[in-house]
Each structure stands twice: as C-alpha cells, then as structure tokens.
Amino acid sequence: MERLSEKQIEQQLEALEGWSLEDEKWIVKKYRFKQYLDGIDFVKSIADRSEEVQHHPLISIDYKLITVKLSSWKAKGLTDLDFQLAADYDRLYR
Amino acid sequence: MERLSEKQIEQQLEALEGWSLEDEKWIVKKYRFKQYLDGIDFVKSIADRSEEVQHHPLISIDYKLITVKLSSWKAKGLTDLDFQLAADYDRLYR
C-alpha cells in the first residue's frame, strides 16, 4: 500500500470522528467504556479484526480508557489500510 | 493496603522473575508471545483476574509484546496487592 499525502490524510481524517494525527505518521483515538471488561472485550474484537488483515495497532489499556494507534511501518507513514481499520474499530465500538 | 518500603520492594522483586522497578512506584514486566492472539487472550485473563480484586494494571499491546505495569495509586506507591497480582499474572502466563 502507498503512503498517503498530507492532503489525503486530512481528507480521510475528516471522514472519521475522534481520530487525530500524531507525529505525522500515526492516527490515534481514545475510546471510553463504562465497564472495565467491556473495554477488554473491545480490545479482543479489534485484535481479531486486525489479525484478519495482518495489520496490528498499538493498544494501551488504562482502566476504562483504551487508546489505539495505527500506522503502516512498511510504508513509513499512513495508508488506506490504517483508515479502513480505524473505521472498522469505530463500527465495533458502536 | 500500606505502601511498602524500599527494602520490602527489593525483597518482593527478588521473589519474582522478570519484573523491574520503574520510577520507584511501578513494577513492570514485558511478556512475549508466539502468536498475536495468544497475547490478546493473556490480556483477557489478567484483566479478569484484576477485575476480581478491583486492582487494574496499565497494559500496552505492541503486536506480540505485552507490557504490564502495576502500582497502587491510593497508597501512592507499591503494596502487597501489586506483588500478589504480579505473581498471578506470571501463573497465567505459564
């Protein structure tokens, strides 16, 4: 997959909610949960989805707050795959 | 639970394998997995155990590497509970 340009990244970000750009090569979102184990179930579901496409986010779990970061290290930046997964995670959250 | 002294922390750390002290108030360990989803299952199992005792670690997932950090914020340091959970996580890992 090809690395997206700054303008393409901007456009893709506008189509999503709650995602932001970090260090020009990561997109990041924090998801909040009412129950701790609901957050853990969410981690399991996004991990399953990520394994299917062999593209794995960084995930951090701070009690009921889950932070997810996506980047495509092979492309040294962001690709369409990152934004596809971001939209998938949002669907799984809803 | 009472905060442990430096000496108590040292003794408790010696009884564990692979845990280290960070910033004087955290104990940290990195667990490696051969399969991504095995790491995710481990996260689920340590989360279940942590929820039982209502004491939750920071967890970060970087592909097959899972980092776990424990501290007792109410005690502003480390307590016996942190070391009990650390031993529990090691048992779940084995």
pLDDT in tens, A18-69: 999 999 999 999 999 999 999 999 999 999 999 999 999 999 999 999 999 9
Cβ–Cβ < 8 Å for A56, A34? no
Cα B79 from Cα B25, distance rounded (Å): 9
pLDDT at res. B1: 82
Cβ–Cβ < 8 Å for B27, B13? yes
ipTM entry: 0.95
Average pLDDT over residues B64-74: 97
Nearest C-alpha neighbor of A13 from the set A2, A1, A29, A37: A29
Pairwise CB contact (< 8 Å): A40 & B40: no
Run of H or E residues at A90? helix A80-93
Residues 12-71 of A with CB under 8 A from B: 36-37, 40, 43-44, 47-48, 51, 56, 58-63
Please list, in sequence order, all residues whose beta carbon lies within 8 angstroms of the beta carbon of residue A2, skipping any fewer than 6 positions away.
Answer: A75, A79
Please determine, for residue B82, whether its predicted confidence score (pLDDT) is greater than 90. Answer: yes
Please determine, for residue A77, whether its predicted confidence score (pLDDT) is greater than 90. Answer: yes
